[in-house]
Amino acid sequence: MTESNTASHRPVPFPITNPARIPAKRYYDEDFFQMEVDHLWPHVWQLACRLEQIPKIGDWIEYANLGKSVIIVRTRDGVKAYRNACRHRGVPIAGGDGNGHGNCAATGFICPFHGWRWNMDGKNTFVYSRQMFGEDQLDPDDIALRPCRVEFWGGCAFVNFDDDAPPLRDCLGPIADRLEKYGVDRLRAEWCYATVLPANWKVAMEAFMEGFHTARTHPQLQKSAPAVFHALYGQNTQGIGVPVNVNATPRENIQDQFRLMELLSEGMAGMCHAKDLETARGLLDVDLPEDPAEAVMAWYGMLNAEVTRQGRARGEATPDFNALMATEPLKGVEFLFPHYFLLPYLSSFSAYRVRPLSPTSCLFELWSLTQFPEGEEPEPIMEAIMLPHDSVEFPPIPRQDYANIPIQQIGLASDGFEFMRLAKDVEGLISNYQQVIDGFLKGAPADRLAAATASLGGNFDGPIRNVDV
């Protein structure tokens, strides 16, 4: 039995009693944060590394979060994970700063303190001054590296410190199948940036759980396609943007769509990849139906088909986007509980990972992911480029988000601000997410927690639900 199965009545501070109102203290209270450290993070699947980072036998990389460190290593028998602590005195045997990587095929792992050694399979191969220890202290099974549970999805390794937690696929749910059809397991990283945000990890995550903020935070996107945002959020944009001009020509509508793609490409440094943008540019002068709505649909059909054709011509395993978007559509952001999310757009994705550092700070990482022809993949990105959160080197869209997140953290602790008020139809993922967190904190049964986390897939811009935890 896991702790989460045996403590089903653990009290939760600042619980969610009204799903449309999230208590503000959940974002800065030290005791609440400690409950997450104790009862959430040890039981969830955490994205540890991209498998392309450990392509060769003996390649290893360290993953660290909240004082726990794991080594993920590619062995002759597949990828394994170990707790990063010497069985002698507990010193990390590799890395130690959360950013380590290397190859242990020749030397194994060597503790920097007293020189004990282990091979890539976790077996101890050397004890310095062995005669100084009692034989009962050196049982081979006892001094082998302690394994950490590891499973794989989407070209990544995920770890879980709970040996009894439900399988990764059970926790991801149907969204994993949909994303796989878009080739997520074949994506490779082009670049990775990271920053420390002065905000609670949930504030950072929730900034991307709805598109409602776009009109004010990203006005360049809203102005490029006002009809889209008007259709989604109606008059609640407070006059920023108007419905599409009924007198606009099909060509003008296509130009608007292309401009939005340009802004996404520039703003995310690749969410709309340059290769897809060039494909779209080549379709700006095609013949279109006279009806504007029909013209846009026809144009996107041509774009999907051409992205598929050109990708396959380059040797990429590009899916049939027209077929997929008809049967397996994705949201603009897809979340994998608790700290990883993907932003798909045609052939490529942006990806974010958030790790808590303290009640009011977190590490935020961004990747640009795309496909490459076999044999033409770039060298793996082993470490993120660290930047200040207000650095102008970040792409424009996350830079706009990073301007809001720290000041929201300050506002949450303002006197008299008791709770956030959520829009019931488009900010529901925030509430649903928080309800799942409460399930872990109170110790709900593991099978119910897995079903609850799986239910979060596809909730971006969705309604508030009563999550069964």
Nearest alpha carbon to residue 38 among 442, 410, 446, 455: 442
Task: State the average pLDDT over residues 414-430.
Answer: 95
**Average pLDDT score, the chain:** 92
Q: Is domain 47-153 given the CATH code 1.20.1250.10 in the classification?
A: no
What digits encode the pLDDT tens for the residues 125-136? 999 999 999 999
Question: What is the value of pTM for the model shown?
Answer: 0.93
Specify the amino acid at residue 428.
G
What digits encode the pLDDT tens for the residues 82-110? 999 999 999 999 998 878 999 999 999 99
- Residues linked to residue 336 through DSSP beta bridges, in sequence order: 340
What SS3 string covers the chain?
CCHHHHCCCCCCCCCCCECCEEEHHHHCCHHHHHHHHHHCHHHCCEEEEEHHHCCCCCEEEEEEECCEEEEEEEECCEEEEEECCCCCCCCCCCCCCCCCEEECCCCCEECCCCCCEECCCCCEEECCCHHHCCHHHCCHHHHCCCECEEEEECCEEEEECCCCCCCHHHHHCHHHHHHHHCCHHHCEEEEEEEEEECCCHHHHHHCCCCCCCHHHHCHHHHHHCHHHHHHHHHHHHCCCCCCCCCCCCHHHHHHHHHHHHHHHHHHHCCCCCHHHHHHHHCCCCCCCCCCHHHHHHHHHHHHHHHHHHHHHHHCCCCCCHHHHHHHCCCCCCEEECCCEEEEEECCEEEEEEEEEEECCEEEEEEEEEECCCCCCCCCCCCCCEECCCCCCCCCHHHHHHHHHHHHHHHHHCCCCCCEEECCCCCCHHHHHHHHHHHHHHHCCCHHHHHHHHHCCCCCCCCCCCCCCC
Task: State the average pLDDT over residues 31-36.
Answer: 98
What is the predicted pLDDT for the residue at 245? 45
Residue extents of the structural domains in the chain: 3-43+171-207+332-454, 47-153, 214-327
Residue 246: pLDDT above 60? no
What is the predicted pLDDT for the residue at 97? 80
What digits encode the pLDDT tens for the residues 218-238? 888 777 666 556 555 665 444
CB atoms under 10 Å from CB of 13, counted, come to: 13
Separation of alpha carbons 399 and 379, rounded Å = 27
Give me the count of residues in the chain: 469
Q: Verify cis geometry, omega within 30 degrees of 0, for the bond prior to 289.
A: no
- Looking at the chain, the whole-number percentage of residues with pLDDT higher than 70 is 93
